[in-house]
Structure 1
Amino acid sequence: MPYANNAGVEIRYEVDAPNAGAPDEAVVFCGDVGLGAWQFGWQHAALAGPHTVITPETRGIGESDTPPGPYTVEGLASDVDAVCAAEGVRNAHLVGYGLGGMVALAYALGSSRPASLTVIGTPAAGDSYNPAGVWADPSSPAAVEGSLTGLLSESFREVHPDVISRIVEWRLGEDGDRETCKAHCAAIEEFDVSGRLYEITTPTLVVHGTEDTACPRSAAVSLAEGLPRGALHAIEDARHLVGVEASAAVNDAIVGWLAEHASDSLTE
């Protein structure tokens, strides 16, 4: 996988379907607090091919550098910008979970490169987000498995125990350690664009599981209502990892959103 350099910090990323869509356009994933790239596996399968898809490893995750924290959301957005610049992406369609959604919002405030945003389980301010409900210490299999109780609905966990087992394996191998989580949490704590939402004119799809325990529904509603071009897509009874447990509905929403806002219409 290639690397992009942001002021001496090396960010590793993966490019899939590099010749899909417009030559200067791509879907770019932005990751949640402490989580590895596994979190986008369900969306990646639906989007790579119709679009070029870029998956950066957030600083502190995988083989990206881990500079000392604390981090800022703006700094994480500059990492994403370095990746886009390295790949010649002029129009980036950002898809972010939680912290990654905050990064997408901050990026849209500071750059014209974002062409559309899809933010999942994301508030306009960090004080409406509970990162302790998302990250779990990957050195503890029991903690990782236990965390999925809050991240995925009971009905999904009962029907798909095989998926739960695979997610536990991926998290143990890919998620960031405690110091990375602390650095990411510091970025969340300082994040607040609630007074500047009117400045974010980038089309933004706000996807939210109505039973999300990391980000309350009210925060998603407020975000969508405060954005000039925001649209709320709520998934009933789903929790924070709504893109996992309701992947078909989430993917359909994102595909439709990109069909409206990408340069080229999607083909089946």
Structure 2
Amino acid sequence: MPQLEVDGATLTYDDEGPRDGAAPLVFVHGWTADRHRWDHQLDHFARRRRVIRLDLRGHGESSGAGVRTVAALADDVLALLDHLQVERCVLAGHSMGGMIAQTIALSHPARVERLVLVGTIGRMTYSRARGLLMAASTRVPYRLFIAANIRRAFAPGYPREEIRRYIAASAAVPREVVMTLYGAMRAFDVLDRVGEIRTPTLLVHGTRDVQLPLAQMLRMATAYPDAVVRLIDAGHELPLEKPRELTRAIDRFLTGQAA
């Protein structure tokens, strides 16, 4: 896999598909995940346009730590785009990746042709249950903490063996990275600024998402001046739970159809 050295980190990425003049699709994954969350979208879209995805620092096959803000993660994504000479793109982010995407859309609007936000929000507001889980993070073994977070990210009925596989992958992310970025997400708040984003935006959310509840996304959606909302019967892990439905929603958005 190609890699890029950025500010003490080695970022692993994929860059596939034809360079036909269309704005590349850039996919950014969420907290404790990796670029393979977007496998279905890469397989579909790279047949006809350029698709880029990366492992954020400390995740997947990328090394590095020390980033304490969502804006700093956004800088990593921008550094990769600069390296690949991508001036303008369609930017898609899931969960924390959606926070990164919003940050880029606000700080560098000319670089984002369209914005796709999947299972994300503009301001972090945790339920009491999530707060208790995070409070317990220092008192339980790291893998148990990760397992609890991953299990609640999926709607009931998702195959248990698959959930165990994602627990193992997430547990491979260093604890320092996970907890530091948890703090970064807690500090993230652009809710009062999303009205500044004039980029056509697709908001996709799972109706059974308990990690970042639907009501919080809908609150954000009302502030977007040009947004399409698509709801899917799933939990927080839309790219894994309903990959075809998510791909279809993105495809219709890119081709100007109703989501």
User: Cα deviation per residue 1:38-76 (whole Å; 9 max; x = unaligned)?
Assistant: 32223222222222111111011133231324x211111
**Corresponding residue number in structure 1 for 2:238:** 242
Task: Provide closer, same or farther for how the CA distance between residues 234 and 65 of structure 1 changes in structure 2, counting only shifts above 3 A.
Answer: same
**Contact map agreement 2:65 2:177 (CA 8 A) in 1:** no
* Worse-superposed segment, 240-249 or 212-221: 240-249
Residue among 17, 24, 27 paired with 2:25: 27
Does the 8 Å contact 2:33/2:169 carry over to 1?
Answer: no
Q: Is residue 209 of structure 1 aligned with residue 211 of structure 2?
A: no
Aligned twin of 1:258 = 254
Give a deviation string over 1:205-248, Cα, whole Å, max 9, x none: 11000110111111111222111112211113x11012222222
Identify if the C-alpha distance between structure 1 residues 138 and 235 changes in structure 2 by more than 3 Å, giving closer, same or farther: farther
TM-score (norm 2): 0.85
Matched length: 248
Cα distance in structure 2, aligned partners of 1:240 and 1:178: 21
Question: Which stretches in structure 2 are left out of the alignment for 5+ residues?
Answer: none
Shift of 1:143: 6.3
Identity %: 27
Between the aligned partners of 1:94 and 1:42, the Cα distance in structure 2 is 16
- Give the distance between the partners of 2:35 and 2:188, measured in 1 at CA: 22
CA distance in 2, matches of 1:39, 1:148: 13
SS of 1:202's equivalent in the other structure is coil
- In 2: Cα distance, 1:88 partner to 1:260 partner: 26
Q: Distance in 1 between matches of 2:198 and 2:208?
A: 28
In structure 1, what residue type is equivalent to 2:49?
H
- 2:181 corresponds to which residue? 184
In structure 2, the partner of 1:265 is none
- The answer for the alignment partner of 1:150 in structure 2 is 152
Counterpart CA distance in 1 for 2:186 and 2:167 is 23
CA contact (8 A) 1:119 1:206 kept: yes
Q: Do the aligned partners of 2:34 and 2:54 also contact (CA within 8 Å) in 1? A: no
1:55 maps to which of 53, 56, 59:
53
**1:22–1:180: structure 2 CA closer, same or farther, 3 Å change rule?**
same
Structure 1 position 167, deviation (Å): 5.1
Distance 1:148 1:62, change over 3 A: closer
RMSD of aligned C-alpha atoms?
2.7
Letter in 1 for 2:152: G
Note if contact 2:8-2:64 (Cα within 8 Å) is conserved in structure 1: no
Select the structure with the greater relative contact order (CA < 8 A; seq sep ≥ 6): 1
Any idea what SS the aligned residue of 2:125 has?
A: helix
How many Å separate the matches in 2 of 1:47 and 1:201? 25
* SS of alignment partner, residue 99 of structure 2: helix
Distance 2:252 2:141 in 1: 35
**Secondary structure of the corresponding residue to residue 255 of structure 2:** helix
Structure 1 counterpart of 2:65, one-letter code: P
Q: Distance in 1 between matches of 2:111 and 2:53?
A: 16
Preserved CA contact (<8 Å) 2:155 2:209: no
Tell whether the 8 Å contact from 2:147 to 2:167 is kept in structure 1 after alignment: no
Helix, strand or coil for the counterpart of 1:82? helix
- Matched AA of 1:65: S
Residue aligning to 2:164:
168
**Contact 2:27 2:92 survives alignment (8 Å):** yes
Q: How many Å separate the matches in 1 of 2:55 and 2:34?
A: 7
Q: For the residues of structure 2 that align with 1:255 and 1:99, how far apart are their CA atoms? A: 22
Instruction: Give the equivalent residue in structure 2 for 1:4.
Output: 4
Give the letter aligned to residue 229 of structure 2.
L
